[in-house]
């Protein structure tokens, strides 16, 4: 497919689209743009600092021995269309006024359009004590591969005591994953026959199991059913590894023998060195419907890097892909942008025992019961084996449909209304 | 839409008592909401936070979260919790007469 004709300056090398980040969002954006434009119409360059594309939804399963770490990692450039340039380099800063990206080794890239897709970074050192005594011994995160692997070894030897799962504060990637961890821990210890010797606690900064009332009630009910204590409005102020305590800013304490903490998240560190690019937390404050930067119209953001009032989840990047590429095309030919992105999010929530539930929502509609994508489909907000199989099947779709930037069969970018049932919480 | 009465005036608020129209807010109203939230006196430090939040809301159209306040207001997260013990972002937003900070998930 050929896209709209792009304006050329004679003697120029043509339009250059630079995509920072070769993860989920950057990869699918590059592949979608490559399909939209012939190679002679524009150059597309993707920059990332390493060659490890991690299938992040798999990290949840590593601590329980349900996923092999090396199966989750593939080459970054090999997920890109052959006609996309891949540059492995550190990003030092962006100068939005000069439309230039400064890379390590003094290399500069100038762009006509910049797509920021460098995701979210874990910031454990921002929480007092988190990386101090006990870090890597009885305080862990499963949000990166080394952490998930280390936690696997420790869980295998865990025989009794208090396991606490905590989210330090929002935003975090895949906000349901910490709760899934608690559900899977319940199942794991039951299989090992030691569930009665393990106390499970889920401590969250939210005022319920989830932000939105209908899902909060359903998920809160599941926690209770599985005997997992729910501690709410717990914003992590300090980790006392030696004393085995999580302490909230309002000075409540949750004791632990093993703490699984999801650290604070921020944008990639170079954003802080790039004046006018990001917000206080290093995320890119783009328009929530067009994905365009308010001060720099040639800058767009997609995926976890974007400061959107949506979940930081791969599904959001996928559903935003269509709007992003369409709007870059419109921007390059001077047309007004299409405010099409609705914040569509779709998450399988693994609940153990070969079951999962599914939630589907957007900026305006909270997760509701019913079926997805229509009246006949997967059950929403309800545990089922079909949803668990859906979650497992997603890994194949991730590498073969989502990253290549293809639509998933029968699933539109906009959130489907049909199949959803309005209820009171 | 529910209203709350401060002095002689009925002010539109949401179900949890957050102002839906920041223009209806006055400083005496702030003192009254603070009392209702269990804060006896608003000190200069409280006012620093309240004014900062109103300015942020006017500029960005959203109320800042605790983490953003801790990074940008000049008041640390620890002190924010000392000033507004029952959740600084929510309590200070209520006193400042701006909508509830959105939870992003």
Written as one string, the DSSP assignment of A86-104 is EEE--EEEEETTTTEEEEG
- Write down the H helix ranges in chain B: 27-36, 44-60, 66-72, 77-83, 88-95
Structure tokens at A378: 């997967």
Residues of A (136-175) whose Cβ lies below 8 Å from B: 169-171, 175
A310 close to A286: Cβ distance less than 8 angstroms: no
Using a CB-CB cut-off of 8 Å, the residues of chain B touching A309 are 102, 104
User: Could A250 and B102 be called an inter-chain contact, meaning their C-beta atoms sit closer than 8 Å?
Assistant: no
Burial call A74-104: b when 16+ CB within 10 Å, e when fewer: eebbebbbeebbbbeeebbbbbbeebebbbe
Q: Tokens 């093993």 map to which residue?
A: A258
Using a CB-CB cut-off of 8 Å, the residues of chain A touching B65 are 169-170
| Neighbouring C-alpha atoms within 13 Å toward the C-beta of A6 | 26
Averaged pLDDT, A146-160? 98
Give me the tens of pLDDT residue by residue for chain B, a chain 105 residues long. Answer: 788 888 778 889 998 889 999 999 999 999 999 999 999 999 999 999 999 999 999 998 888 888 999 999 999 999 999 999 888 999 999 999 999 887 544
Closest C-alpha among A402, A361, A360 to residue A25: A402
Q: Tokens 């390590």 map to which residue?
A: A104
Using a CB-CB cut-off of 8 Å, the residues of chain B touching A171 are 104-105
Least confident of A303-307, A362-366, B1-5: B1-5
B98 close to B53: Cβ distance less than 8 angstroms: yes
Burial call A154-184: b when 16+ CB within 10 Å, e when fewer: ebeebeeebbbbbbbbbbbbbbbbbbbbbbb
Using a CB-CB cut-off of 8 Å, the residues of chain B touching A235 are 66
Cα torsion angle, A240, A243, A244, A246, sign: negative
pLDDT of A9 over the 90 cut: no
Helix axes A314-332, A24-36, angle to 10 degrees: 40
- Write down the H helix ranges in A226-292: none
Q: Each residue of A166-196: pLDDT tens digit? A: 999 999 999 999 999 999 999 999 999 999 9
Greater model confidence, A108 or B66? A108
| CB proximity list for A142: less than 8 A, separation 6 or greater | A59, A60, A62, A63, A148, A151, A181, A260
Residue A6 binned pLDDT confidence (cut-offs 50, 70, 90): low
pLDDT score for A211: 85
Residue A11 binned pLDDT confidence (cut-offs 50, 70, 90): very low
Q: Tokens 């590593």 map to which residue?
A: A62
Averaged pLDDT, A89-112? 97
Q: Is A364 on the interface with B (CB under 8 A)?
A: no
The pLDDT mean for chain A works out to 95
A105 burial (CB, 10 Å; 0-12 / 13-18 / 19+) is: exposed
Residue in chain A lying closest to B80 (CA): A249
pLDDT of A264 over the 80 cut: yes
Enumerate the active-site residues of B. Answer: 104
Q: Is A249 on the interface with B (CB under 8 A)?
A: yes
A96 close to A270: Cβ distance less than 8 angstroms: no
Longest dimension (CA), chain A: 74
Using a CB-CB cut-off of 8 Å, the residues of chain A touching B72 are 280
Q: Is A413 on the interface with B (CB under 8 A)?
A: no
Chain A nearest C-alpha distance from B8 (Å): 33
Q: Each residue of A371-425: pLDDT tens digit? A: 999 999 999 999 999 999 999 999 999 999 999 999 998 899 999 999 999 987 7
Task: Give the total residue count for chain B.
Answer: 105
The pLDDT mean for chain B works out to 90
User: Could B104 and A311 be called an inter-chain contact, meaning their C-beta atoms sit closer than 8 Å?
Assistant: yes
B17 close to B4: Cβ distance less than 8 angstroms: yes
pLDDT score for A12: 52
A305 close to A116: Cβ distance less than 8 angstroms: yes
Q: Is A15 helix (H, G, I), strand (E, B) or coil?
A: strand
Burial call A256-290: b when 16+ CB within 10 Å, e when fewer: bebbbbbbbbbbbebbeebeebbbbbbbbbbbbbb
pLDDT of A10 over the 60 cut: no
User: Could A237 and B77 be called an inter-chain contact, meaning their C-beta atoms sit closer than 8 Å?
Assistant: yes
pLDDT score for A1: 43
User: Could B105 and A175 be called an inter-chain contact, meaning their C-beta atoms sit closer than 8 Å?
Assistant: yes
The pTM (predicted TM-score) of the whole model is: 0.92
Count CB atoms within 10 A of the CB of residue A12: 10
B29 close to B36: Cβ distance less than 8 angstroms: no
pLDDT score for A148: 98
Hey, which bits of A241-377 come out as E strands?
245-248, 253-255, 258-262, 265-267, 299-301, 345-352, 355-361, 370-372
Greater model confidence, B71 or A9? B71
User: Could B104 and A171 be called an inter-chain contact, meaning their C-beta atoms sit closer than 8 Å?
Assistant: yes
A91 close to A20: Cβ distance less than 8 angstroms: yes
A351 close to A176: Cβ distance less than 8 angstroms: no
pLDDT score for A384: 97
Chain B nearest C-alpha distance from A170 (Å): 7
Q: Is A20 helix (H, G, I), strand (E, B) or coil?
A: strand
Residues of A (29-88) whose Cβ lies below 8 Å from B: none
pLDDT score for A290: 98
Residue A13 binned pLDDT confidence (cut-offs 50, 70, 90): low
The percentage of chain A sitting over the pLDDT mark of 90, rounded to a whole number, equals 94
pLDDT score for A5: 56
Measure the CA dihedral A69/A71/A77/A82, to 10°. Answer: -170
User: Could A169 and B103 be called an inter-chain contact, meaning their C-beta atoms sit closer than 8 Å?
Assistant: no
- Write down the H helix ranges in A290-421: 314-332, 385-397
Of B67, B72, B105, the CB nearest to A169: B67
Task: Please compute Rg for chain B using Cα positions.
Answer: 13
Using a CB-CB cut-off of 8 Å, the residues of chain B touching A308 are 104
pLDDT of A249 over the 80 cut: yes
Of B68, B72, B105, the CB nearest to A210: B105
pLDDT score for A4: 54
Averaged pLDDT, A256-276? 97
Peptide bond into A373 cis (omega under 30): yes
Greater model confidence, B104 or A354? A354
User: Could B81 and A237 be called an inter-chain contact, meaning their C-beta atoms sit closer than 8 Å?
Assistant: yes
A214 close to A189: Cβ distance less than 8 angstroms: no
Q: Each residue of A25-74: pLDDT tens digit? A: 999 999 999 999 999 999 999 999 999 999 999 999 999 999 999 999 99
A273 close to A260: Cβ distance less than 8 angstroms: no
The percentage of chain A sitting over the pLDDT mark of 70, rounded to a whole number, equals 97
């Amino acid at each position: 497919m050929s896209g709209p004709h792009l304006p050329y300056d004679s003697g120029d090398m043509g339009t250059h689209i630079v995509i920072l980040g070769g993860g989920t969002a950057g990869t699918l954006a590059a592949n979608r743009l490559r399909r939209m434009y012939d190679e002679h119409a524009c150059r597309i360059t993707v920059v990332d600092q390493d060659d490890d594309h991690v299938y992040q939804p798999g990290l949840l399963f590593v601590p329980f021995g349900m996923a092999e770490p090396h199966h989750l990692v593939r080459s970054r450039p090999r997920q890109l269309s052959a006609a996309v340039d891949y540059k492995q380099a550190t990003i030092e800063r962006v100068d939005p006024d000069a439309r230039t990206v400064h890379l390590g080794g003094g290399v500069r890239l100038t762009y006509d359009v910049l797509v920021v897709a460098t995701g979210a970074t874990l910031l454990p050192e921002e929480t007092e004590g988190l990386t101090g005594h006990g870090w890597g011994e009885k305080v862990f995160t499963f949000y990166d591969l080394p952490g998930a692997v280390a936690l696997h070894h420790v869980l295998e030897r865990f025989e009794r005591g208090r396991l606490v799962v905590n989210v330090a504060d929002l935003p975090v990637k895949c906000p349901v994953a910490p709760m899934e961890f608690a559900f899977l821990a319940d199942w794991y210890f039951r299989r090992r026959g030691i569930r009665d010797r393990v106390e499970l606690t889920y401590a969250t900064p939210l005022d319920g199991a989830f932000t939105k009332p209908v899902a909060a009630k359903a998920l809160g009910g599941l926690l209770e059913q599985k005997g997992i204590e729910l501690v709410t409005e717990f914003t992590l102020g300090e980790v006392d590894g030696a004393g085995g305590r999580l302490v909230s800013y309002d000075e409540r304490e949750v004791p632990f023998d093993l703490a699984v903490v999801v650290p604070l998240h921020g944008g990639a560190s170079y954003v802080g060195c790039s004046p006018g690019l990001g917000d206080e937390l290093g995320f890119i404050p783009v328009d929530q419907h067009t994905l365009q930067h308010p001060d720099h119209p040639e800058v767009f953001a997609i995926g976890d890097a974007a400061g959107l009032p949506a979940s930081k989840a791969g599904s959001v990047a996928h559903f935003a892909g269509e709007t992003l590429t369409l709007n870059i095309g419109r921007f390059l030919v001077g047309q007004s942008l299409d405010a099409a992105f609705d914040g569509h999010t779709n998450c399988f929530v693994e609940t153990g025992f070969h079951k999962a539930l599914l939630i589907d929502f957007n900026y305006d509609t909270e997760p509701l019961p019913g079926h997805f994508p229509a009246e006949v489909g997967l059950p929403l907000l309800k545990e089922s084996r079909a949803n668990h199989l859906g979650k497992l099947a997603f890994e194949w779709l991730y590498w073969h449909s989502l990253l290549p930037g293809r639509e998933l069969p029968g699933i539109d970018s906009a959130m489907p209304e049909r199949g959803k049932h309005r209820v009171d919480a | 839409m529910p209203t709350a009465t401060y002095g002689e005036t009925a002010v539109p608020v949401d179900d949890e008592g957050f102002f839906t129209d920041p223009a209806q807010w006055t400083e005496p109203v702030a003192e009254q909401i603070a009392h209702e939230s269990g804060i006896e006196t608003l000190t200069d430090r409280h006012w620093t936070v309240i004014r900062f939040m109103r300015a942020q809301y006017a500029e960005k159209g959203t109320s800042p979260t605790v983490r953003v306040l801790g990074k940008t207001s000049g008041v640390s997260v620890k002190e924010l919790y000392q000033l507004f013990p029952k959740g600084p972002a929510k309590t200070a937003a209520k006193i400042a007469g701006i909508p509830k900070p959105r939870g992003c998930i």
